[in-house]
Chains A and B, each alone.
Chain A
């Protein structure tokens, strides 16, 4: 039986609930708003001041001279366009692999699920410079990838470094966990019976997915796309190293202007970048909100046959499901994606046991010397402990702030809701290099001395957007009627939170903790400028050492971090079931 109309997703799918209209829950959101306001408004105002020549030494010429310089110059415009294009490609390429991977993870059980999950998050566990060096080994002309291609057919060998394809290949590697983790909660929240009902009524699986599943996936999809787009626009080290120094992005321009003390022009570039990212993220947010509320589907009661896509879907409905194809493709996909996720890290880990002092593909022996150096109490250990302390505190404080704020946002539909989300995301949208300069000048203006608290605050400001973004999408994906039922049964708000809400968003909390921890642990740009003297944080230490000479100790540090995180998460996950399927919780 062919299906010519499909019920709107809002009616058919309880996992995309209609949002109740509530007044803003300001007490829940105020701490997060306050942290963000202090952390972003001061630096933002300073950047604006420099960009319009109210601050700084260069005050000659037109007030908006820096903006007209940048916008009127085809070179700068070309760099902006290149960054936007790369970021859009990055989102598309990541989505292509992230969605099926997320689905496969949610359907896996036991050790397979654990393996896939950890393979997905391991790119986040390696220092960015060390990880990029691993990609250099893989993608160089005489690298591992070309050696494999040459073994198949010498004509397949090609240049990857210095090309957009090579750059995309490495960026998708780090973007995948940013896309997959927010989607996991959303996918877990889907009620499979709705899609099954559509298929029983004759809808082809693709049609059922398009009409029923996709709108419900919107919160997680949009969250992931937002994080990945921002990653693409702010990416600096990877394009510099893998682009061979010839692929200038907006962040490259920005950092060079900052380094040559042209802060006015740097501020103008940073604010233009902020505006572009804000526009795109805002558009994605609007798209996601409409889809999640079923607004677009609710308006769509037109029979399929009246639109080209409907013709295609109607054709598909007449086809049988290709389960045999799926059975062949799935294991190939899983093997390929796991290899892709783990190969650069395997290069890094191999280097950590290799006695040679450069990253080499071949086997050159075995040593534990680099690990001994990494654990040297006078070398990297103090920095590692400082970074660990900062990350743990940033995550704990961040969770305490982000969870109530996310509840206030996700369970409300008040005027200005989107603006509040955008405001809370704003530290993410402003390039860290510009934010760092703004922070230094802002702290000087406040007259604060360098201190651990100052660094912790800076880390909290950069972590909070990730945590809020992930938690909001997690909350939007779960049915609030369960909370309402608990309240109706007499449970207090605290009991409802503890026994209903938090368990339902466990995967979201896991993702928020992971993102928050790793963002803080790997943060160097802001920290190097606002830090107190004395022990530097670990990424600052590693990056600073690597500028002088390569040392495999950095690879050993990455190896230790991978082991540490897995050693903590593995038993926690198995015990608490952080990422267990909902029906196994």
Chain B
């Protein structure tokens, strides 16, 4: 199963400069009022409960803040925890008769779901949606709920100079001490896209990048879907470099892990989680209200504090001593996820033959 991964949305073209992802503007915007939520989800028509499908541990991270929605509307929140592939399978299998009211997914998966009619088109009635940063508001089929950034984690004892290019991951000097994330999954696609860009290519064709990995496949110590496996290898000293979600590795660093984080000169790809409403949901309006609560400042601030996600809500003030990624917007790089997703079957097949054959 792929690790929790997110990605920047494709807007009109692959962006090579930092998108507008500023998420600090205390006092400049007013969060949605209670009436806005109750207008969508009045007591007389509200269901007993709504179900959010999301990754594990998110319930513990934001459960208290989400409980405020229950206090306001009387609607209980049920949490359905699973991995991205399981969530995609369930949404597709239940197409038209969903048991999930709100699903949170990596942005690269959204276009396919929208094209296949699995999710509803975007609805502007979502409370707090007017406060979102452009990149979060611009996702077809959903609303960005959090931002992350990919970086290169490295062991400073073994890698004495911080990597300044993503292609350093394929440097023979580090043979046997590098891991990569698996494909499909935006954790795997992000470094491939950067390999392509740094080689003169683009996000539209990752085949050369996969072939570059194939040239050094025996030098890669592991291809992993799970953050904890990467952390384990850093901990045993086996791993010197790996691409990873910066916030996740920051937690490991704060827990005493001997790693540093580097964002190469070409930038760090931006990922994003997106909230979507499955098509055919009889409680769609209440689900929109729930999504609006999820985009609210309390939940967004809690994500920043616990998982180091950059809030998408401009009403959230990030404490000065709190590190979130992207911390420096000039390092943020938007990836053309729609272009990658169009050829995901081809890439997944080529990757399997390159790595697992």
Binding site for B on A (CB under 8 A): 57, 75, 78-79, 133, 136-137, 140-143, 161-162, 240-241, 244-248, 252-253, 255-256, 258-262, 356-360, 378-379, 436-437, 440-441, 444, 449-450, 528-529, 531-534, 536, 540-551
Contact = CB atoms under 8 A, between A and B. Distances in A.
Given A533-B100, A549-B57, 7 more contacts: A78-B357, A246-B220, A262-B345, A533-B78, A545-B56, A550-B232, A551-B57
A534 B78 contact: yes
A133 B89 contact: no
- Minimum-distance CB pairs A-B, first 8: A544-B56, A248-B356, A245-B223, A259-B85, A550-B228, A545-B56, A533-B51, A533-B78
Contact of A549 (B112, B225, B237, B248): B248
A142 B236 contact: yes
A542 B55 CA distance: 11
Nearest to A534: B78
Contacts of B231: 358, 549-550
Interface in B48-104: 49, 51, 55-58, 60, 63, 78-86, 88-90, 92-94, 97, 99-100
A359 B3 CA distance: 19
Nearest to B84: A259
A529 B256 CA distance: 37
A549 B182 contact: no
B75 to A, nearest CB: 13
A318 B217 CA distance: 56
Contacts of B78: 533-534
Given A133-B228, A256-B352, A358-B252, A141 B81 contact: no
A96 to B, nearest CB: 29
A529 B93 contact: yes
Given A255-B85, A534-B79, A244 B93 contact: no
A79 B356 contact: yes
A529 B90 contact: yes
B329 interface: no
B157 to A, nearest CB: 13
A543 B92 CA distance: 22
23 contacts: A75-B353, A133-B232, A143-B236, A247-B356, A255-B1, A259-B84, A259-B88, A379-B60, A436-B89, A440-B94, A528-B86, A529-B86, A529-B89, A533-B49, A533-B100, A536-B79, A540-B81, A542-B56, A544-B55, A545-B81, A549-B231, A549-B248, A549-B252
A260 B184 contact: yes
Contacts of A248: 352, 355-357
A141 B228 CA distance: 17
Contact of A240 (B93, B225, B233, B353): B225
A246 B357 CA distance: 8
B291 interface: no
Nearest to A245: B223
B226 A546 contact: yes
A547 B80 contact: no
Nearest to B52: A533
Contacts of A549: 57, 227-228, 231, 248, 251-252
A240 B83 CA distance: 16
B117 to A, nearest CB: 11
A133 B252 CA distance: 17
A79 B355 CA distance: 12
Nearest to B307: A548
A379 B56 CA distance: 11
Contact of B93 (A142, A246, A444): A444
A441 B86 CA distance: 14
A248, A256, A356, A540 interface centre (most CB from chain B within 10 Å): A256
B111 interface: no
A356 B232 contact: no
Interface residues of B, number: 66
Contact of B232 (A141, A358, A551): A358
A530 to B, nearest CB: 9
Contacts of B348: 256, 260
A503 to B, nearest CB: 44
Nearest to B101: A533
Nearest to B53: A533
Contacts of B229: 136, 241
B110 to A, nearest CB: 14
Contact of B97 (A244, A262, A359, A444): A444
A126 to B, nearest CB: 16
B164 to A, nearest CB: 27
A32 to B, nearest CB: 28
Contacts of B89: 258-259, 261, 436-437, 440, 529
B344 interface: yes
Contacts of B353: 75
Contact of A544 (B83, B92, B97, B100): B83
A122 B55 CA distance: 29
A548 B57 contact: yes
Nearest to B182: A245
Given A260-B345, A356-B255, A529-B86, A548 B237 contact: no
A547 B232 contact: no
Contact of B235 (A240, A260, A360): A360
A533 B48 CA distance: 13
Contacts of A241: 224, 226, 229
Contact of A533 (B79, B182, B238, B345): B79
A141 B248 CA distance: 24
Contact of B225 (A75, A245, A253, A356): A245
Nearest to B99: A450
B184 A244 contact: no
Contacts of A551: 57
Interface string B283-327: 000000000000000000000000000000000000000000000
Contact of B81 (A136, A137, A436, A536): A536
B194 interface: no
B257 interface: yes
A528 B99 CA distance: 13
Nearest to A441: B93
A143 B93 CA distance: 43
Contacts of A260: 184, 344-345, 348
Nearest to B60: A379
B236 A547 contact: no
B222 A162 contact: yes
A528 B82 contact: yes
Contacts of B146: none
Contacts of B88: 259, 261
A228 B331 CA distance: 51
Contacts of A246: 217, 220, 222-223, 355-356
B92 A261 contact: yes
B90 to A, nearest CB: 6
